[in-house]
Structure 1
Amino acid sequence: MKNAQSLEEMARLKSQQQEVRYHSGEVPLAAFLDSRSEVLRAKQNTLKRGLEYDLMVLMFRELTGDLGNTYVDASTWQK
């Protein structure tokens, strides 16, 4: 997860660099837009990794019984 966040931040910084270069006339618009699409791909990857992590934690808590013990008080309905 941290790796994906770092890659997203790096893509964002590279995009800012490309924006400055575009405004100064060093690179064409296509290069700037490509860097923006890289940022979006990196954000998507970060969200995907976060979802995978959350699903794994949820599955682990379900398998260990911790999920039910946390939210259900069995003593209230087992009388």
Structure 2
Amino acid sequence: MSTITTTVSVSGMTCGHCISSVSEEIESLAGVEEVDVDLNAGGISTVTITSSQELSPAEIGEAVAEAGYLVVANNA
């Protein structure tokens, strides 16, 4: 089975707790296998999502918003 890698840019993340919150929400989406966050405190952080199925920008955006942050670019 192939995996799909999706990269999104998220604003507002500043610390490890932010990473945990965003990762937890994204990991709850169907098919998500791994979430890797490159934190840029106070700037735009890069979130790389590895999944077994295609994820829509809307569902990723909703998961990030649920954690209290904003997707500013989706480079899927």
Q: What TM bracket, shorter-length normalisation?
A: under 0.3
Q: Which has the higher helix share?
A: 1
Q: TM-score, normalised by structure 2?
A: 0.26
